[in-house]
Amino acid sequence: MTVTTERLILGGLVLDDNFVRQTIPFLQPEYFHDKIECAVFTQIKHYLDEYKSLPNKTAITLDLKNHEKLNE
């Protein structure tokens, strides 16, 4: 698996509260070219907006399992 800038950003969004506060206002789904990375970002953003806290891996995984545009 190749580590891309998008994947590093996604990792920061679930691991680093300071990184989230500094970057989330500027990030947009269209910045993520891979459809899976875009879906993950969208779920993370939704979680942050709804719960005002960092999502954990389990929460994102459950949300993505219910995503109709993604397959296995």
Q: 65: pLDDT confidence band, cut at 50, 70 and 90? A: confident
Q: How far apart are CA 27 and CA 32, in angstroms?
A: 9
Quick: pLDDT tens for 15-47: 999 999 999 999 999 999 999 899 999 999 999
Q: How far apart are CA 11 and CA 6, in angstroms?
A: 9
Q: How far apart are CA 70 and CA 72, in angstroms?
A: 7
Token pair, residue 35, equals 């459809």
CB 34, CB 2: distance < 8 Å = no
**pTM for the full model?**
0.84
Q: How far apart are CA 32 and CA 6, in angstroms?
A: 6
Q: 70: pLDDT confidence band, cut at 50, 70 and 90? A: low
